[in-house]
Amino acid sequence: MKESSEMSEISQESAGSSRFHMIDVGAKVPTRRRAVASGRIWVGEEAYSRIRSGKMPKGDLLALAEVAGVQAAKRASEFIPLCHPLGLDQVLVRFEFEPENFALRAICEAVATAKTGVEMEALAGAQAALLSVYDLTKGVNPALWISDLHLELKEGGKSGVWAHPGKETVCGPFTKEKKSDSAVNEWAGISASVITSSDRVSKGLAEDRSGPTAVRWLQDKGVSVSRSIVVADEIEGLANAILERTSGTARVDVLVISGGTGLGPRDVTPESLAHAAAQVGSRMPFRKIPGVGELLRSGGSRHTPTAWLSRSEGAFLGRTLVILLPGSPKAVVEGLEQLQKLIPHLLQMSRGGGHS
């Protein structure tokens, strides 16, 4: 009995002294998780030209590097000690050419229905793709440079949507010249305004958190935000505020309205937009974009099942893109992240410069 007791004490002491352990995710419910990571390899002018023309000594370099990225994402847990093994639903690896830097940018997107995130899988995929390019290019130029590996975006779980707050660095040994902000930022030159629709906030009974959140998100993209105001949940007042920002000298390219998209008796934001459109009639064309509302509800439902009940929508009133979002800061960020790639494209299309 004494020996058994001593062994028990030793076992407990050993277990308690362990400095490493995997996080227990057993109680969590599997949800759809997605992560996007990227990195860059600077290859120099000669190697860059040969890669683009498909004249590298070892064959189709990028195709093989993409396969290497997929393999690494699938096996991330084998070489990252405390990374959970995951059954991945999808892995996508692709490259973008950067002629101004003689560089290639590797992008890896990993998706899984799991109890924990897929950030490490995405990062492993991007890094392995870059290392494969390194291996297949070093015979042409041994002075290669890998940099900027980082997580760009993750979705799923209790944190919802997260995007990297920093800006990509553009530095390396083969850069011809730094890109100007207007060359790399498709948001440059876009103007916006934000309206918060809320009785409580307009009466000073609550703090406006969603409006400033939308302003910060837009400003981080380089958008010029003229002003942010709060309006009570009244159709006439909100419609007037909409018209002020969609016509005349105060017109903006994008108008974001937060709040009033639910089914409560005072949720009247969609009705206010329709009322504003009716007031101007044919003088300002009103075109709804059904896909925007569908995308917002579909994306929001991954984190909040009741998002399907939201009446979020997008429309053009005249030349202004109007986006209606729910009234929480979290929903505002998630909604704008869902539309991040679409907003500049929609504005370009409205000006006759793009194709659907």
pLDDT of res. 278:
95
Please state, in angstroms and rounded to a whole number, the distance separating the CA atoms of residues 156 and 148.
24
Sign of CA dihedral 273, 274, 279, 285: positive
Distances (CA, A) of 317 to 134, 210, 288, 321, 338: 50, 23, 9, 7, 21
Please state, in angstroms and rounded to a whole number, the distance separating the CA atoms of residues 244 and 239.
9
pLDDT of res. 176:
44
> By C-alpha distance, which of 127, 118, 188 is closest to 155?
118
Radius of gyration of the chain (CA): 25
Greatest pairwise CA separation for the chain in angstroms: 93
pLDDT of res. 36:
93
> By C-alpha distance, which of 228, 249, 231 is closest to 240?
231
Catalytic residue among 24, 135, 148, 253: 135
| Topology of the domain comprising 191-350 | Molybdenum Cofactor Biosythetic Enzyme; Chain A (3.40.980)
> By C-alpha distance, which of 132, 117, 44 is closest to 86?
117
Per-residue pLDDT tens digits for 199-213: 999 999 999 999 999
pLDDT of res. 158:
66
DSSP string, 221-266: TT-EEEEEEEE-S-HHHHHHHHHHHHSGGG--SEEEEES--SSSTT
Per-residue pLDDT tens digits for 81-97: 888 888 899 999 999 99
Catalytic site includes residue 233: no
pLDDT of res. 302:
74
Single-letter amino acid code for the residue at 70: V
The tokens 């990227």 sit on which residue?
A: 38
Angle (nearest 5°) at CA 295 between 38 and 193: 85
- Model pTM score: 0.55
The residue extents of the domains of the chain are: 31-179, 191-350
pLDDT of res. 235:
96
pLDDT of res. 59:
80
Q: Is 320 within 8 Å of 191 (Cβ atoms)? A: no
CATH number for the segment(s) 31-179:
3.30.70.640
Q: Give the pLDDT of the chain (356 residues) as one tens digit per residue.
A: 445 554 455 455 555 556 777 778 777 678 888 999 999 999 999 999 999 988 888 888 999 999 999 999 999 989 888 888 888 999 999 999 999 889 999 999 999 988 888 999 999 999 999 999 999 999 999 999 999 999 998 887 766 677 887 655 444 555 444 444 433 468 889 999 999 999 999 999 999 999 999 999 999 888 999 878 999 999 999 999 999 999 988 899 999 999 999 999 999 999 999 999 999 988 999 999 999 999 999 888 877 888 899 999 999 999 999 999 999 998 998 899 889 889 999 998 888 765 44
**φ/ψ bin of 45: left (φ > 0), alpha (ψ from -120 to 50), beta (otherwise):** alpha
pLDDT of res. 73:
95
Q: Is 125 within 8 Å of 110 (Cβ atoms)? A: yes
